Amino acid sequence: MSKRFRFLIVLTVLALCFLFLWPSISWYVRTPKEMQQLALSSLEHIKDYSLAMAHADVSQLKELARSDMNGDLPEKFLPFIDSAKKNRKDMGDEIPSQWNVGEFIKSFPSEFELQAEIEGSYRDEILKAKNYYSNSAKLGLDLSGGMSVVVKADLEAAALAQKEAATGQSDAEFRALAMEQAIENLSERVDKFGLSEPVIRKQGEDRIYIEIPGAAQADRISSMIMGKGLLNFRLVDSEATEKFADYYNDNPATTFNSEGELIDTSVIPEDCEALGYYVKDDYGLDERRGYLVVKKEVALDGKHIKSAEVGSDRNGKPQVNFILDGEGAEIFADFTSANVGKNLAIVSDDKIKSNATIRTPITGGQVAIDGFSLDEAQNLQKVLQTAWLNVPLSIESQQVIGASLGEQAISQGIRAIEFGLLAVMIFMLLWYHGAGINAVVAQILNLYMMFSILSAFNLTLTLPSIAGMILTIGMAVDANVIIFERIKEELRLGKDRASAIYSSFKNAFWTIMDSNITTFIAAMFLSQLGSGPIQGFAVSLAIGVISSVFTALFVSHLMFDFNTDVLKRKKMSIGWGIKQ
């Protein structure tokens, strides 16, 4: 392999590594904490925030217009001038040379359009930060603090309960369905806490892994995981809903406080509450379409639902049929008779999932809801299913780490890396003199590559993985030592610099490969053991092995050759007692 080619490869690798490292640097160093907080919250929260900010900006603009049409345009609107110019072109108007408040407002056909655009820019900014986060290396729970829970779903008990409902599915199908249900329920409940980017995923056949980084209310969350969901039917107050919608449009930011409670409770009748109405979007996530004002009183409790199915009505359109038990049928009959023409909301865990009009009284306990697409029907059926399909969950393992302990761990890890690296570097310089610089550069490059690979694959950095990196540095130096000792031997035999380097690298190649492959084997096996911290250690060890082989064989060789060819060195500075 020619030297120039080798040089190109090294450069490419370094550049690639920087590319991978960039999101991590952007997130941890360049993003301020407030933006981080926003970026980590749920999409719903981000949307609400952007909308509220845009609304406030537009209101501010209107105020300015009222007082002085020719006033200067505030700085924050300057980025939108390009869009204003484009609108002017489309409208066929000429583009003003000077932009003041009046000209700017004229460029937008409606207040709503401007607000939507500003909202979009706020949202994009936050989503960009969120993107950095998803592409960077994450901090493990032991460094960031947080909670991890492994939940076991008792599918056997759920299967027994299902037999009563008898919906005719095969066993395997049922299990998959039950797991999906359980995971969805958990996601919704954890979401309610408004925590940053929780991770909820299936592990194996019947386990769910939940990870909540950052400080969270540990005991509340654990109880919530074990608890059952709430499903009930409530009456919708349509008048109040309309009034509330207007109120919310005018005051998007000041309607609810940070806990989700109404700041001004006089906006809706005393016996009602305002809940969000959610529909599943293209990604299967809940998207809030608006708010409905529903009576606090529960019209029908979900426990009366015996079964729910998706079927089609007389016209072939999708509808959801569900059957109530005896008691439920009676309650429902009374309720529907008294409220024909009004709307009924199906509420699941404080979220409204369906809003249906009561057309006729329903006395037989067999209810049909129509007026949606097949997807919507299936989603609703799943919601109703939670009433009887109850998968009991038990906590199999749980770990809670306080955030301050996490910080302590980070500083420990950093100091350990610094000290370890320094000690190794000083030793190499003392023992191997000039060649020691070679080793030092190789080790620094090693660390750099390890971090970028971690970032590239969005792996998690834990204290054990920092330990893995430190260990790798110690072991990576070994490759350099093997080569340097070899070079010393060759020089002692009387070879000159160039041939000593050449034959050392050639001979040492297989020795280095052999020893590193075995460490790699150990690391690969280790990564299969458990999850979280140990995996972090094994993965960083494995990564370290790869990068250290690269730096020892490629980069070191290149550096020696550089000195030989470019700097025309004849002798090697490689320690004491080597006569050249």
Partner 1 sequence: MKRVVRFDKFFIPAVVISVVAITAGLITFAMRGFNLGLDFSAGLIEEVRIASPAINVKYTGSGNAAIEVAQNEIVVILTGATIENASHQISFDENKTVSSVVDALNKIEGITAETVSSGDVESSRLFADVNSGSTLSGSRDFPIYTTTKTEKPATVDSIRGLLEADFPGVAVKQVGEPAQLTFQVKIPDDGTDPAISETARTKTAAALTKEFGEGNFAITKADFIGAQFSQSLITQVFILILLTLVLIWLYATIRFKWEYALGAIVAIIHDVLIMISFLAWSQIEVVSIIIAAILTILGYSINDTIVVLDRVRENSKNPNLDRHDIKTVMNLSQSEMLTRTIITTMTTMFAVLSLFIFTTGSMKDFALLLMVGMISGAYSTIFISSAVIVAVRGRKEKKGSAVVAKSDSSKKKASKKAKDSEADSSHGDSSNTINVETPSQWK
Per DSSP, what are the bridge partners of residue 300? 233
Using the rule CB under 8 A, is 510 a contact of partner 1? Answer: yes
Using the rule CB under 8 A, is 15 a contact of partner 1? Answer: no
User: Given candidates 183, 384, 473, 555, which one binds partner 1 under the rule CB under 8 A?
Assistant: 473
In the bound state with partner 1, the residue whose beta carbon lies nearer, of 220 and 317, is: 220
x-or-dash string of contact with partner 1, 550-569, rule CB under 8 A: --------------------
Which residues, 6+ apart, have CB-to-CB distance to 107 below 8 Å?
83, 84, 85, 87, 88
Closest distance of CB 561 from partner 1, Å: 23
Closest distance of CB 113 from partner 1, Å: 20
User: Given candidates 402, 457, 499, 571, which one binds partner 1 under the rule CB under 8 A?
Assistant: 402
In the bound state with partner 1, the residue whose beta carbon lies nearer, of 91 and 517, is: 517
Using the rule CB under 8 A, is 520 a contact of partner 1? Answer: yes
* φ/ψ of residue 296, rounded to 5: -65, -30
In the bound state with partner 1, the residue whose beta carbon lies nearer, of 377 and 424, is: 424
Report the C-alpha dihedral over residues 545, 546, 550, 551, rounded to 10 degrees: -40
Using DSSP bridges, classify how beta strands 305-312 and 318-324 pair: parallel, antiparallel or unpaired: antiparallel
Q: What number of other Cβ atoms are within 10 A of residue 285's Cβ? A: 13
Using the rule CB under 8 A, is 59 a contact of partner 1? Answer: no
Using the rule CB under 8 A, is 18 a contact of partner 1? Answer: no
User: Given candidates 14, 95, 534, 558, which one binds partner 1 under the rule CB under 8 A?
Assistant: 534
Using the rule CB under 8 A, is 430 a contact of partner 1? Answer: no
Please count the residues of this chain forming the interface with partner 1, following the rule CB under 8 A: 100
x-or-dash string of contact with partner 1, 133-172, rule CB under 8 A: --------------x--x-x--------------------
In terms of C-beta density within 10 A (0-12 exposed, 13-18 middle, 19 or more buried), how is residue 414 classed? exposed
User: Given candidates 59, 249, 337, 412, which one binds partner 1 under the rule CB under 8 A?
Assistant: 412
The answer to whether the beta carbons of residues 27 and 129 sit under 8 Å apart is yes
Amino acid identity at 157? A
Q: What number of other Cβ atoms are within 10 A of residue 244's Cβ? A: 21
Which residues from 340-399 bind partner 1, rule CB under 8 A? 394-399
The whole-angstrom distance between residue 560's C-alpha and the CA centroid of its chain comes to 44
User: Given candidates 97, 110, 266, 411, which one binds partner 1 under the rule CB under 8 A?
Assistant: 411
Which residues from 167-226 bind partner 1, rule CB under 8 A? 193-194, 214-220, 222-223, 226
Report the C-alpha dihedral over residues 353, 359, 364, 365, rounded to 10 degrees: 10
* φ/ψ of residue 362, rounded to 5: -115, 110
Closest distance of CB 103 from partner 1, Å: 27
Using the rule CB under 8 A, is 514 a contact of partner 1? Answer: yes
Give the separation between CA 544 and CA 538, rounded to whole angstroms: 10
Closest distance of CB 329 from partner 1, Å: 34
Q: Quickly list H helices, 2-154.
A: 3-25, 33-40, 43-67, 81-91, 101-106, 111-134, 141-144
Using the rule CB under 8 A, is 572 a contact of partner 1? Answer: no
Closest distance of CB 130 from partner 1, Å: 14
The DSSP secondary structure of 314-356, one letter per residue, reads TTS-EEEEEEE-HHHHHHHHHHHHHTTTSEEEEEETTEEEEEE
In the bound state with partner 1, the residue whose beta carbon lies nearer, of 201 and 492, is: 492
Which residues from 250-279 bind partner 1, rule CB under 8 A? 252-254, 257-259, 263
In the bound state with partner 1, the residue whose beta carbon lies nearer, of 498 and 534, is: 534
Neighbour order of strands in the sheet with 366-370: 305-312, 318-324, 366-370
Using the rule CB under 8 A, is 75 a contact of partner 1? Answer: no
x-or-dash string of contact with partner 1, 488-507, rule CB under 8 A: -x-----------------x
Closest distance of CB 538 from partner 1, Å: 7
User: Given candidates 400, 445, 461, 555, which one binds partner 1 under the rule CB under 8 A?
Assistant: 400
Using the rule CB under 8 A, is 32 a contact of partner 1? Answer: yes
The answer to whether the beta carbons of residues 289 and 277 sit under 8 Å apart is yes
Which residues, 6+ apart, have CB-to-CB distance to 150 below 8 Å?
203, 207, 208, 209, 210, 395, 396, 397, 398
Closest distance of CB 233 from partner 1, Å: 29
> Which of these ranges, 8-16, 94-102, 160-168, 480-488, lies near partner 1 under the rule CB under 8 A?
480-488
